[in-house]
Amino acid sequence: MARPAPVISDPCSTARATRDSAASRSGRASSAVGSAVMGNPSCGGWRKIAWRPTQPEGIRLIRSSLIAGAQMVCLVVQMVCPVVQMVCLVVQMVCLVALPAAAEHRESAAGQSQGAPDVVEIVSTNVQGKNVFIPSTIVVGAGKPQTLSIFNTTDTPHGFAIDAAEIHAVLPAGEEHRVELPAMQPGIYPVHCQLHPPHRSARLLVVED
């Protein structure tokens, strides 16, 4: 009859690593950060095993997208800055050219307005059977020449006379006629129709500006 095998009450191994065969503490997988723990407390406690947590794919994609976006923004800024500088330079050049031209135009317009005589409009017409000048009081400035634009609305020629200014004009029927009034001193001067004296009359009022 064969002898029965001995019963092993402790399943744990009693083998121990020697100093030469054991790995150093710093090189052991159980010393790595984030390593997992496994084992059997009945065999002497828990043991650490090498384990490195994996990063979710979504987080990696988001981080990569952010980095790519930041690089793209930097590239766009670098491209836009020279364009902005060029636009500013063009605006400055346009302003330098336009401002003197505008000033010259204003000076020219001012000179023309000062040199050109003022135009005063007058109407020679018939109101309720009476021939009149409108306005009946013609107001002009003193000390400068004036242009009188007289429009005869009737179908008959009439006269326009200012004796003090030596003006004796004939107004054609249905037409405009211009009379150049010389510089006058302040005062009131009679205006009449030399062709039909009783028909119409007015006055010229010359005032200081």
Per-residue pLDDT band for 73 (boundaries 50, 70, 90) equals confident
For residue 195, pLDDT beyond 50: yes
Task: Write down the pLDDT at residue 187.
Answer: 94
CATH number at residue 181: 2.60.40.420
Phi, psi of 205 (to 5 degrees): -105, 115
Flag whether 18 is in a domain.
no
Beta strands 176-181; 201-207: pairing state: unpaired
For residue 49, pLDDT beyond 60: no
Per-residue pLDDT band for 71 (boundaries 50, 70, 90) equals confident
The 10 Å CB-count burial string (b at 16+, else e) for 98-122 is eeeeeeeeeeeeeeeeeeeeeebeb
Average pLDDT score over residue span 183-202: 87
Task: Write down the pLDDT at residue 120.
Answer: 92
Give pTM, 2 decimals.
0.45
Average pLDDT score over residue span 91-111: 58
For residue 67, pLDDT beyond 70: yes
Higher pLDDT, 189 or 85: 189
CB contact set of 37 (below 8 Å; sequence gap of 6+) = 46, 47, 48, 49
Q: Are 171 and 153 in contact (CB under 8 A)?
A: no
Flag whether 156 is in a domain.
yes
Flag whether 164 is in a domain.
yes
Task: Write down the pLDDT at residue 157.
Answer: 92
Flag whether 78 is in a domain.
no
Flag whether 127 is in a domain.
yes
Query: What's the whole-number average pLDDT of the chain?
Result: 73
Task: Please give the Cα distance from 146 to 182 (Å, whole number).
Answer: 6
- Which two three-digit tokens encode residue 10? 């402790």
In angstroms and rounded to an integer, the radius of gyration of the C-alpha atoms of the chain is 56
For residue 201, pLDDT beyond 70: yes
Flag whether 187 is in a domain.
yes
Q: Are 17 and 33 in contact (CB under 8 A)?
A: no
- Which two three-digit tokens encode residue 43? 């065999």
**Which residues form the domain of 178?**
118-207
Flag whether 130 is in a domain.
yes
Higher pLDDT, 42 or 64: 64
- Which two three-digit tokens encode residue 86? 């060029």
Per the structure, the count of domains in the chain is: 1
Task: Please give the Cα distance from 140 to 147 (Å, whole number).
Answer: 10
For residue 171, pLDDT beyond 70: yes
Flag whether 140 is in a domain.
yes
